Structure 1
């Protein structure tokens, strides 16, 4: 892939959209004081909002359809043009809710991008052909996602994890076929190793197929090695990244400094695995480092959430930071990270870095 410089564009959200999305008797939301930033997805010509919105954990599970509608409307009104999803999120219900809401809001199809991810399956206890990255499941899952999201094509389609049971060549060919059929525009990976990505790219180049255009890794102040080190040369060569968990599942907001509450993300039924991953061994110092970061944020006069998200945005290889929220107020606070970029000087960012090392 050819080397390139990341391009950025600024755009103010459309203030008229607030009136359009306000329901009967509701007061339209006020336009927030920031300009959305848009970035190219790697070496492609696709420009995504630097802050995007994802449905993991919340849609179809933690929140109802009404709140999901409010969140999508608020995201759109504030300049977000990329909505992230996956077959496994709430076993397909997250995609169905998102598709219904987008259709209900009548968002113009040429104005937004939507994604899905394939690997884990969309049913409990999936049979062998209902999961993985075989040509069959990649194709079946794409068709199912199109139906649930109520769109004719997926802008972005990710291999959610590597599949040890399927040759990478088969997966690359399956993704290329979907692109040639007009059902997918760009395909990529999530949490693949650099070696696996390079193999996929080499196969695509050798067989004149579409190569992966983006990777979706976890990236935050407490989890940064893969993007900054392992993917460094790939990003220099044009790989885009849409990063998830910029707040380390809420750890960097300070909400867990005093423990896990039942109504928090980590406290939700069925999320014990996530709590163990975020707080437990082998990274027992994660909470200690998060507390140190929150102290620095307070001393800088910044919201911990906004500061943590802004830190992610400072990485020029980050195409888009995927935000999650269960309430509009959460989303609006996180969007304020765009302002934080210009409010912290180099000395302040150095303190942020040292607090989490």
Structure 2
């Protein structure tokens, strides 16, 4: 039997401008009461194995028929997420915060109206401005129609700070960055379990963890009756395949850990903009991305561009762009719950969201053609293609 609980806006909605101080003045216990209500519902829902938002279904019904957006379970949990999510907005230009907000609001609106319900946040996104940008856009959207995730290094303290900055009572999923080798796994799992039990998050996942580390976390959770992770954030694209196609599918089938993948365009390499060098306005031209510039200019980088030229012929045959082909290719993997898109302008995001229309064209024959050109398909016991 599957039981679903709806999380409404009542008592959980972020206060709008001017309301926060008023609420505190008239009802000092509002925040704690709201968190207590959410925690009660969350714990009951987890014990019964499923938790969904009331408005997820409405969002799906109102947009899926028009946009073709697909919704998948996050791993084998009961949380439904759009197969394309919005990650780092990459909004760095401009001298005024209002300019950044305007671009960010455009990007989030385009994503939301295209059926995206998964929004991945992190304190370091958009040059450290993302949480403030997200708050400015969040006020115009219904919280309960969104799946909001965030990433943490110092679990409890950082999450409380992020929630306060975004004026949220909770996030749906909190991701723990790769653990320090000196930190006991039991300590990490207990901390993430505490975060969930306190109502600050519904699920937790891992980010850039090895399959062995994820399995250790799962074992520790089972041993001490704690909460295990439900998904892993992992890099996945044409030139980075082994972990998502070999290691993680085994975890998906054994313990239900899914994948939220990022960088489907390999930091922009797959867009083709670096074909003739590094443009001055590109990310690779910036000092913090010297590593990317070196990668592009290396011998391996030149070989990758040669392969991209061949892949462009497949994209042309499918009447799509190369980035759309690359994103649809990522979504062919059954263990991938969602692919996070990073965008810097509305036209780029609109193009990338168009990958939804390419998914039905990703036949076994097309996948074989891509494998033949790339020449890097990992050897596995199973074929995990749809």
Q: TM-score, normalised by structure 2?
A: 0.75
Alignment partner, residue 80 of structure 1: 116
Q: Does 1:109 align with 2:126?
A: no
Alignment partner, residue 97 of structure 1: 133
Q: Would you tell me which structure has more helix in proportion to its own residues? A: 2
Alignment partner, residue 231 of structure 2: 214
Could you tell me how far apart the structure 1 residues matched to 2:133 and 2:69 are?
25
Bigger Rg, which one: 2
Q: Of 24, 47, 52, which residue of structure 1 is paired with 2:85?
A: 52
The DSSP-based 3-state class of the residue aligned with 1:342 is helix
Q: Of 30, 33, 38, which residue of structure 1 is paired with 2:71?
A: 38
* CA separation of 1:183 and 1:302: change in aligned 2, threshold 3 A: same
Deviation of the 1:13 alpha carbon:
6.9
Instruction: Return 184-193 or 284-293, whichever deviates more.
Output: 284-293
Q: Does 1:156 align with 2:173?
A: yes
Alignment partner, residue 124 of structure 1: none
Could you tell me how far apart the structure 2 residues matched to 1:11 and 1:355 are?
38
Q: Of 364, 368, 375, which residue of structure 2 is paired with 1:350?
A: 368
Could you tell me how far apart the structure 1 residues matched to 2:260 and 2:349 are?
17
Q: Of 172, 187, 194, which residue of structure 2 is paired with 1:170?
A: 187
Could you tell me how far apart the structure 1 residues matched to 2:126 and 2:319 are?
37
Alignment partner, residue 70 of structure 1: 106
Deviation of the 1:95 alpha carbon:
1.7
Q: TM-score, normalised by structure 1?
A: 0.81
Alignment partner, residue 235 of structure 1: 252
Kindly indicate whether the alpha-carbon contact (under 8 Å) linking 2:119 and 2:148 is maintained by their aligned counterparts in 1: yes
Long gaps (5+) in structure 2: 1-56, 376-386
Alignment partner, residue 266 of structure 1: 284
Kindly indicate whether the alpha-carbon contact (under 8 Å) linking 2:67 and 2:115 is maintained by their aligned counterparts in 1: no
Long gaps (5+) in structure 1: 1-8, 16-30, 120-136
* CA separation of 1:279 and 1:150: change in aligned 2, threshold 3 A: farther
Instruction: Return 303-312 or 87-96, whichever deviates more.
Output: 87-96
Kindly indicate whether the alpha-carbon contact (under 8 Å) linking 1:74 and 1:328 is maintained by their aligned counterparts in 2: yes
Kindly indicate whether the alpha-carbon contact (under 8 Å) linking 1:172 and 1:203 is maintained by their aligned counterparts in 2: yes
Could you tell me how far apart the structure 2 residues matched to 1:45 and 1:166 are?
30
* CA separation of 1:11 and 1:108: change in aligned 2, threshold 3 A: closer
The DSSP-based 3-state class of the residue aligned with 1:212 is coil
Alignment partner, residue 36 of structure 2: none
The DSSP-based 3-state class of the residue aligned with 2:209 is coil
Could you tell me how far apart the structure 1 residues matched to 2:58 and 2:336 are?
16
Deviation of the 1:78 alpha carbon:
0.8
Write out per-residue CA displacement over residues 223-259 of structure 1, whole angstroms, 9 at most, x where no aligned residue: 0100111212101121121100111112122222122
The DSSP-based 3-state class of the residue aligned with 2:110 is helix
Deviation of the 1:332 alpha carbon:
1.0
* CA separation of 1:242 and 1:292: change in aligned 2, threshold 3 A: same
Deviation of the 1:182 alpha carbon:
0.1
Kindly indicate whether the alpha-carbon contact (under 8 Å) linking 2:271 and 2:322 is maintained by their aligned counterparts in 1: yes
Could you tell me how far apart the structure 2 residues matched to 1:235 and 1:50 are?
16
* CA separation of 1:333 and 1:177: change in aligned 2, threshold 3 A: same
Deviation of the 1:280 alpha carbon:
4.0
Aligned-CA RMSD value = 2.4
Q: Of 193, 200, 210, which residue of structure 2 is paired with 1:183?
A: 200
Write out per-residue CA displacement over residues 147-185 of structure 1, whole angstroms, 9 at most, x where no aligned residue: 222211111111122211311111111010010000011
- What does 1:268-287 correspond to in 2, within 5 Å? 268-277=286-295, 280=298, 285-287=303-305
Alignment partner, residue 336 of structure 1: 354
Kindly indicate whether the alpha-carbon contact (under 8 Å) linking 2:82 and 2:338 is maintained by their aligned counterparts in 1: yes
Could you tell me how far apart the structure 2 residues matched to 1:166 and 1:313 are?
34
The DSSP-based 3-state class of the residue aligned with 1:285 is helix
